[in-house]
Structure 1
Amino acid sequence: MRGLLWLFLLYPVAEIVSLIALTDKFGGGAVILWLIASALLGLALIRNQKLGMLLSAGALLRSGGEVSLYSLLWPVRTLLAGVLLIIPGPISDVLALLLLLPFKGPSVRMPPRAARPAEPGDVIDGEFRRVDEPVDPQRRLH
């Protein structure tokens, strides 16, 4: 627990020190342009995530068959990379780029949806009766 506390305290200090070192080496204008560009890229990543990636993950789950863990965690990784790109500093940008690298995870074998045995709650038993109400010919659209 103390290690995590020290990490949270040292992380901002490391980001500030690295920004000062970059400013000293490349100049303030270049570093500010780089920070603005990385923040805009992070915003674009977050904006493009939205519901589309969650729906694609749901489609992968519903399709059955072999689904890689990588494809399930990709939306979360991209969202986290976008947040890290918004945070100013080179350390967070490097972590974001590492998250965006296309590492393949282990495959997860899922049974197809039709091949699963029916559970007791899957079947609804009941009776129905069709009731057609008479329609007045004056109310019909012709």
Structure 2
Amino acid sequence: MFRFLFLLFILVPIIEIALLIQVADVIGGFTTIALVIITAIVGAKLVRTQGMGALQNVQSQMAQGQMPGKELFTGLCVIIAGILLLTPGIMTDVFGFLLLAPGIRNKLAAGLASQATVRMSAGMQQGSSPFTQHTHAEPEPRKMSEPTTIDGEYERKD
């Protein structure tokens, strides 16, 4: 993982600089700078609107007592897209705008879900689940709609 991140932090800036130089040769230096600034502004507005929509969807799913898995993944993609769009460069802008496209996000989510399902089922075939490591019976899980009340006393001592 360290090697991957190291290569990522070395290769991405080199590729971005090379792309910026090539684009500047074709359309001009000031136009390239304006393009980078405009994509950052447009990207920030898109991230803001899609992020607020994702937040509202998460809140409504939780209010209904459902786990907002898809909405949380959408929010994560929007955050990553925002980081990529605010990073100066052409390649990062392309990846950022791709993450804002719902179709791309859905395909990415489906691919990640299938990988997670394969890994979970492979772990279950070995006879041990990563979630059940103790042998006593577990209490029945609480529904999200049931409130939890903790009774206690509070005394402030200054």
TM-score by length of 2: 0.57
SS at match of 1:17: helix
For residues 9 and 37 of structure 1, do their structure 2 counterparts lie closer, same or farther at Cα, with a shift above 3 Å needed? Answer: same
Aligned to 1:62: 63
One-letter amino acid matched to 1:12: P
Task: Give the structure, 1 or 2, with the largest relative contact order (CA under 8 Å, sep 6 or more).
Answer: 1
* 8 Å contact kept, 2:66–2:144: no
RMSD: 3.3
Which of the pair is proportionally richer in strand? 1
1:85 aligns with 2:89: no
Give the C-alpha shift of residue 27 in structure 1: 1.4
One-letter amino acid matched to 1:10: L
One-letter amino acid matched to 1:43: A
Aligned to 1:72: 72
The runs of 5 or more residues in structure 1 that have no matched partner are 108-114, 126-142
Give the C-alpha shift of residue 91 in structure 1: 0.9
Aligned to 2:156: none
Aligned-pair identity (%): 34
1:28 & 1:118 partners in 2: Cα distance? 57
Higher alpha-carbon Rg: 1
Aligned pair count reads 116
1:15 & 1:37 partners in 2: Cα distance? 17
